[in-house]
Amino acid sequence: MATPGARGPRHRIARGVYRDRYGLAAVVWLRGRSREHRYPLGTELQTIRDWQDEARQALEDDGPVPAARETFAADVQRYTRLVRTRLASIADRERDLAAWVAIAGDDRRAALKLKTINATLQSWRRTLSASTVNHRRDALSHLYRVLDGAPGIVSQAVRFDLPPPVARAVPLDRIDAVLDLLSGKTEARLRLMRWTGMRPSQMGRLTKDDIDLAGATIRLPRGKGGREAQLPLVGPGLEAARLFVARGAWEPWSCPSAAKAIRRACVALDVPAFGVYQIRHSLASALRQTGADLDDVRALLGHTDSRTTLRYSPVVSSKVVAALERVAAASGSRDRQMPLGD
C-alpha cells in the first residue's frame, strides 16, 4: 500500500522500511517519537535492521518524552506503558497514536471533541486507505477504553466502509510448481507459508522452540490478532518445516526479493505471476473449500474480524455441492417412484 510522504508516495516493503522515488527510508517509532534514516536502493535489509535496532535503543536510552501533565501526549505515554506487554504489535499502535499526538498532543484530552475527531479522520481518508484510517480510530478508542474504562466520544466517530473483499487465491498446483523451481532460504520460507499461512513478519519471529519436528507441530507467533496458534504439521507441511530448519531460514526476510524469485519462476513456467501473500490467501481458500470452519481459519490467519476471513469463502464450497448432489439423488429416487398421470 502506498502512503504519502515528503518525497512522494511511499511503498512499504518491510516493517518500518519504505521505498520512494529517491531510495529507501528506515523509520523507528517509540512512545510518540520517531527517527528516520535514508538508504540507497539495493541496500541489504539486514543493514537497515541493524540501524533500526540501534535507533530504537537510543530512543530507549533517551527516556520518555517530557510532556506536561494531563496533556494528550502525556495520556499516550501513560497508555503505552499500560499496554506494552499486552499488544502483539505495540509499534503499530504507537505509530497510529503518534498521528493523533501531532493533532492534539499539547492539549488536554478533554478538549478533543467529536467534531475534531471526525474532521481529522475525514482529512486522513482523502490520502490514506480506509483500513489505515480505521486503525487510527481504533487506536484512539482503545486509549480511551484503557484510561477511562469506556471508549467515550470515539464510539460515535465515523468509521469507513472497507472495499468488498476480493479473493486472491491461486491454484495450489501452480504454487507448488513454482516452488519446485526455487532454492535456498526463499524456497524454505515460501514452502512453510504454503502449509501454515504465516505472514512473513510472523515467520521472521520464529525461534527453534516454535517448531517441534518430533511432535509434528508448529507454534505460530502472534499475528495482528494478538493470538498464538498451534498448528499440526501433516505430510508436506512437516517436510516444509524440516526444510526450513535445515536451511536455517530463521531471520526476518524481504517480501520484494521473494516476489522477484516467484516472478522469474512464473516466467519460466509460462504461467500468470502471483504475489507472496497470495500463497497465504490460497491456503485459506483451500481450507474453506474443503469445509474448514470460518472461525478456525480466522484464528489460524490471525484476523481480528471474521469479515476479513470471509474473502476466502468460496462462491460454492465442496460441502454445498455434496449437499445439493444428495438432494438431487433423493429427488430422483422419489420421481422414479411417483406414478405418471394420464
Same domain, 185 and 246: yes
Last residue of one domain, picked from the residues 282, 310, 326 = 282
Pairing relation of β-strands 33-39 and 211-212?
Answer: unpaired
Query: Which residue, among 236, 232, 233, 220, has the nearest Cα to 180 in the 3D structure?
Result: 236
Residue 6: predicted pLDDT? 47
Same domain, 182 and 247: yes
CATH of the domain at 157: 1.10.150
Q: Is the dihedral of CA 136, 276, 246, 231 positive or negative?
A: positive
Same domain, 19 and 109: no
Last residue of one domain, picked from the residues 136, 163, 190 = 163
Query: Which residue, among 227, 213, 211, has the nearest Cα to 300 in the 3D structure?
Result: 227
Chain mean pLDDT for the chain: 80
Our measurement of the distance from residue 288's CA atom to the centroid of its chain's CA atoms, rounded to an integer in Å, reads 19
Same domain, 182 and 130: no
Q: Give 170's Cβ-side CA count (13 Å radius).
A: 19
Same domain, 158 and 178: no
Each residue's pLDDT tens digit, 195-216: 888 888 788 888 899 999 999 9
The residue to which cell 524454505 is assigned: 188
Contact between 331 and 337 (Cβ < 8 Å): no
Taking the C-alpha atoms of residue 201 and residue 205, their distance in angstroms, rounded to an integer, is 7
Each residue's pLDDT tens digit, 37-89: 888 888 888 888 888 888 888 777 665 555 456 788 889 988 988 887 766 56
Same domain, 27 and 100: no
Domain count, the chain: 3
Whether residue 192 lies inside any domain: the answer is yes
Same domain, 277 and 183: yes
Residue 266: predicted pLDDT? 95
Last residue of one domain, picked from the residues 63, 79, 112 = 63
Same domain, 104 and 180: no
Same domain, 34 and 59: yes
Residue 9: predicted pLDDT? 67
Whether residue 224 lies inside any domain: the answer is yes
Taking the C-alpha atoms of residue 152 and residue 150, their distance in angstroms, rounded to an integer, is 5
Whether residue 335 lies inside any domain: the answer is no
Each residue's pLDDT tens digit, 275-284: 998 898 888 7
CATH of the domain at 276: 1.10.443.10
Domain that holds residue 256: 172-282
